[in-house]
Amino acid sequence: MSDVFQDESPDVSLDGGNFGSLPTSTTIHALKNTVLKSHGRPPWYGEDGQPISDAFVIGIAGGSASGKTHVARQIVQSLGSIPTVVILSQDSFYKRHTPEEVALAMENKMDFDHPDALDMPMFTQCLMDLKKCRQTNVPVYSFQEHQRLDETQYLYGATIVIAEGIMTLQDPALRGVYDLKIFVQADSDLMLARRIRRDVKERGRSVEGVLDQYLRYVKPAYDNFVLPTSRYADIIVPGSDNHIAIELISTHVRRQLRERARRFRPKIVSRRPTGLPLPVELWSNSSEQTPSNLIVLPQTPQLKGIYTILRDEATAKQDFIFFVDRLATLLIEAAVELLPFRPRSIETPCGVEAPGKELDAVCVCGVTILRSGGPLERGLQRVINDVLLGSLLVQTDLVTSEPLLLHVMLPVCIRDRTKAKNTWVFLLDAQIGTAASAFMAIRVLLDHGILQDHIVFVTFLVAGDGGISALRWAFPEVRIVAGAVDAHLRECWVEDDTDESEGQIRRRKVWVIEPGMGQIGDRYYL
């Protein structure tokens, strides 16, 4: 299963660490709700840092076993190379049942086909979260146990959301959420035959039981509740031999996405530096000055000595690592000063009561922008030994030069929205040049419900004429702790690697901070 932006196992972690492109057709199995990714997610926000467009939402209704899930997967496959698609199955939203109800269900005497059987408010909430580019935690339902399980499945980061289920077109408010409404229509005989085969094979049922339930509840509910919603559909898709319909739908979706991209392109965060110089008074953390969202370490002779070693091309690797580690600790120590502390009184071994302080935060965690934020992560672990850690991988698209979000692995206190609002995050990256990665990383955290003023971005180096001004303007409450601010950000082209099929050298644009320290990640790790 594709793991990017979703749980590896529902209740434990988010990501299987799969960074590369994934084939869309082979990735959907155990859980019905799925995130599929191909080439990473381009910016979904504008230069003000606010989301510019919702996810494109498709609603697929139809009778049980009409082929809704199949159609959803076929659409994904036919769409091919698209950033991320979530399939949200309404099956996950059956209500929690009492032991008595479970006993009835085991005898096929429980009505799961009435609209009230589903937790529609929760389904709507999850769908709205995904549409609005927020993370969501979807319940996990067991058809074998007839019960909602305790775990949930984390989903985040969709460009397209496909919601499928027998009641997806039932609720008028819900119908307004979809950009495209589909009804899958299949012959009743076909649906029954498919349902018998599927429920016996996958849902632990007997043929007798399936027939019993079908005649008592499924068929009447189909006639009364499901089929009438077909009139709200934009497209009726046959439940079999539907390749042409699928092709038409994916052509439509692709066109819609292209139009959206065209509409929003001018607003997408600029990759070019803004050229605004930094106000000089911000280059300090002196308490007499106006509180600033950029805190630069005091430029003491010791600090300048460390930077001199790190900037020096001739510095040996082990010295570079040693001083990067030392600098990381200094930066993290400064960043920790921004956390809230409350008074705490203790008794010393001499039996004297002494006033002190303790951290006043429910959760503190670190999120590293891979891979150059790695040394800062080690610094954070040295300062807060049990800190929770996560990571993001942002890479530049070689064609568009846009940042692409390729990998999200966040600690549980961020994945859960109720915990996120009480969580403080150290966002760690080696440098802020164009600020494209920083923009994306901050947006990811805000999408999860982290408060802006609970984010502290820690970095070794900032380009004074780069994207820092735009970043500070877009996210004024995010604090940035830097060791130094360099004068320039320069655009240059580097040879990437040989495209073997063409035998050509590819070139890509990179931004270099000057005087700078070179590629910190490469110098540290390679």
Ligand X SMILES: Nc1ccn([C@@H]2O[C@H](COP(=O)(O)O)[C@@H](O)[C@H]2O)c(=O)n1
User: Does the footprint of ligand ADP cover residue 373 (CB under 6 A)?
Assistant: no
Coil/strand/helix, residue 152: strand
Q: Does 205 sit near ligand ADP (CB under 6 A)?
A: no
Question: For 462-489, what is the HEC assignment?
Answer: EECCCCHHHHHHHCCCCEEEEEEEECEE
> Does 203 sit near ligand ADP (CB under 6 A)?
no
Q: Is 198 in the site for ligand ADP (CB under 6 A)?
A: yes
Q: Which does 219 bind (CB under 5 to 8 A by kind): ligand X, ligand ADP, none?
A: none
**Whose Cβ is closer to ligand ADP: residue 67's or residue 483's?**
67
105 contributes a contact to ligand X by CB under 6 A: yes
Out of 43, 59, 67, 433, point to the residue binding ligand ADP (CB under 6 A): 67
Site string for ligand X, 322-361 (x = CB under 6 A): ----------------------------------------
Considering only residues 5, 45, 94, 424, which one is a binding residue for ligand X as defined by CB under 6 A?
Answer: 94
Does residue 119 touch ligand X according to CB under 6 A?
no
Tell me how far, at minimum, the Cβ of 69 lies from ligand X, in Å.
Answer: 7
Q: How far is CA 60 from CA 92, 164, 167, in A?
A: 15, 5, 9
Residue 70 binding result from ligand X, ligand ADP, none, given CB thresholds of 5 to 8 Å by partner type: ligand ADP
Tokens of 111: 């009505």
Binding span for ligand X by CB under 6 A among 12-20, 71-79, 105-113, 259-267: 105-113
Q: Which of residues 229-288 bind ligand ADP (CB under 6 A)?
A: 239-240, 242
CA atoms within 13 A on the CB side of 151: 14
Q: Which of 69, 213, 372, 431 binds ligand ADP (CB under 6 A)?
A: 69
Is residue 38 within the footprint of ligand ADP (CB under 6 A)?
Answer: no
Q: Please report whether residue 73 would count as binding ligand X according to CB under 6 A.
A: no
Residue 37 contact partner, candidates ligand ADP, ligand X, none, CB within 5 to 8 A by sort of partner: none
In the complex, least distance from residue 60 CB atom to ligand ADP, rounded to whole angstroms? 8
Identity of the amino acid at 49: G
Residue carrying structure tokens 């961020």 = 414
Positive or negative: CA dihedral 192, 149, 38, 418:
positive
**Closer CB to ligand X, 24 or 64, in the complex:** 64
Q: Which tokens hold the place of 452?
A: 């802006």
Chain position whose Cβ is nearest to ligand X? 64
Contact between 86 and ligand X by CB under 6 A: the answer reads no
Binder among 146, 271, 407, 523 for ligand X (CB under 6 A): 146
112 binds ligand X (CB under 6 A): yes
6 closest CA partner among 111, 117, 87, 70:
87
State which of residues 19, 143, 264, 473 lies at the interface with ligand X (CB under 6 A): 143
Contact 183, 62 (CB under 8 A): yes
Provide the minimum distance between the beta carbon of 239 and ligand ADP in the complex, in angstroms, as a whole number.
6
Taking CB atoms within 8 Å and a gap of at least 24, the contacts of 24-31 are 24/76, 24/77, 24/79, 24/80, 24/85, 25/73, 25/76, 25/77, 27/1, 27/2, 28/1, 28/73, 28/76, 28/87, 29/1, 30/1, 31/1, 31/140, 31/153
Kindly tell me which of 187 and 319 has the beta carbon lying closer to ligand ADP: 187
Nearer CB in complex with ligand X: 143/322:
143
Task: Measure the CA–CA gap between 279 and 486, rounded to whole angstroms.
Answer: 13
User: Which candidate, 469, 465, 471, places its Cα nearest to that of 486?
Assistant: 465
Number of residues that bind ligand ADP (CB under 6 A): 13
Q: What number of residues does the chain have?
A: 526
**Coil, strand or helix at 493:** strand
Which residues pair with residue 138 across a beta bridge? 153
Closest alpha carbon to 407 in 104, 13, 16: 16
Do 84 and 41 touch, CB atoms closer than 8 A? yes
* Long-range contact set of residues 314-322: C-beta below 8 Å, sequence gap at least 24: 317/523, 320/523, 320/524, 321/375, 321/524
Indicate whether 490 belongs to the interface with ligand ADP (CB under 6 A): no
Identify the sign of the CA torsion 482, 487, 489, 492.
negative
Show contacts with ligand X in window 31-70 (CB under 6 A). 64-65
Closest to ligand X by CB, 219 vs 371, is: 219
Nearest residue to ligand ADP, using CB?
67
Nearest residue (CB) to ligand X, 145 versus 522: 145
Please answer whether residues 62 and 166 qualify as being in contact, where contact means their C-beta atoms are separated by less than 8 angstroms: yes
List residues near ligand ADP by CB under 6 A.
62, 64-70, 194, 198, 239-240, 242
Site residues, ligand X (CB under 6 A) = 64-65, 91, 94, 105, 112-113, 143, 146, 166, 218
